[in-house]
């Protein structure tokens, strides 16, 4: 639900509330006018108090619901932003270090790659996982062999190709997703 739709829903709720109050007022006003010495006025006022209490409770629940939905949206956006920042840091590390990537730096992204499966669309989460796996194996080759593999094209080369191919598409998809989900 975007902001315009939320404002429409709030406006519709206010209109329904006003119509409801008007209907109760007309009903009670007619009751008092028909019987000017209205000994039932106390009953009418008690009924009005009951309705006012019910309406107040409904309004409070409505406001609480609106606030909680907005807070959930903000929290989800914050998680997506955290994953993006971690991805960007890993991407910059891979750009700077290339085949000499450090295992400690790459491993920091592991929990974010798992969280991506929860907070991001499935196709983007899958690409992020493939990107992380490629970076992990590049860093692992560096840790084991000092970045120099016996057969560079087979061991590190294919992972570097995956890393280089996925990085721009993941960044573009992320930016598009973050712009679409602004609260």
For residues 160 and 45, give the distance between their C-alpha atoms in angstroms, rounded to a whole number.
Answer: 77
Question: Which band of pLDDT confidence, cut at 50, 70 and 90, is reported for residue 157?
Answer: confident
Amino acid 27: pLDDT: 61
Task: Report how far apart, in Å, the C-alpha atoms of 3 and of each of 63, 73, 162 are.
Answer: 15, 12, 39
* This model's pTM is above 0.75: no
Selected residue with higher pLDDT from 9 and 3: 9
- What whole-number percentage of the chain has pLDDT above 70? 68
- For range 149-167, the mean pLDDT: 76
93-121, pLDDT tens digit by residue?
A: 999 988 788 888 999 999 999 999 999 99
Model confidence at 10, pLDDT cuts 50, 70, 90, reads: low
- Listed by start position, the domains of the chain span 3-180
Helix 122-145 to helix 41-97 angle (10° resolution) is 30
> What band does 26 get if pLDDT is binned at 50, 70 and 90?
low
Residue 147's pLDDT band, with cuts at 50, 70 and 90, is low
User: What is the rounded radius of gyration, in angstroms, for the C-alpha atoms of the chain?
Assistant: 30
Q: Is 121 left (phi over 0), alpha (psi -120 to 50) or beta?
A: beta
The average confidence (pLDDT) of the chain is: 78
Provide the pLDDT for residue 179: 84
What average pLDDT does this structure show over 146-160? 66
pLDDT exceeds cutoff 50 at 3: no
pLDDT value for 11: 58
């Amino acid at each position: 639900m975007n902001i315009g739709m939320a404002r429409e829903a709030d406006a519709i709720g206010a209109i329904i509330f006003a119509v409801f109050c008007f209907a109760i007022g007309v009903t009670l006003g007619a009751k008092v006018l028909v019987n000017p010495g209205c000994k039932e006025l106390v009953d009418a006022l008690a009924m009005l108090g009951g309705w006012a209490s019910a309406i107040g409770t409904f309004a409070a629940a409505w406001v609480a619901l609106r606030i909680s939905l907005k807070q959930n949206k903000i929290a989800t956006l914050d998680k997506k932003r955290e994953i993006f920042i971690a991805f960007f840091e890993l991407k910059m590390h891979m750009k700077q270090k290339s085949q000499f990537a450090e295992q400690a730096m790459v491993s920091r992204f592991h929990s974010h790659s798992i969280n991506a499966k929860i907070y991001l669309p499935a196709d983007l989460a899958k690409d992020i996982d493939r990107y992380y796996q490629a970076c992990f194996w590049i860093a692992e080759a560096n840790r084991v062999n000092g970045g120099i593999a016996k057969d560079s094209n087979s061991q590190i080369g294919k992972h570097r190709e995956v890393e280089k191919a996925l990085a721009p598409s993941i960044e573009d998809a992320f930016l598009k997703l973050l712009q679409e989900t602004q609260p």
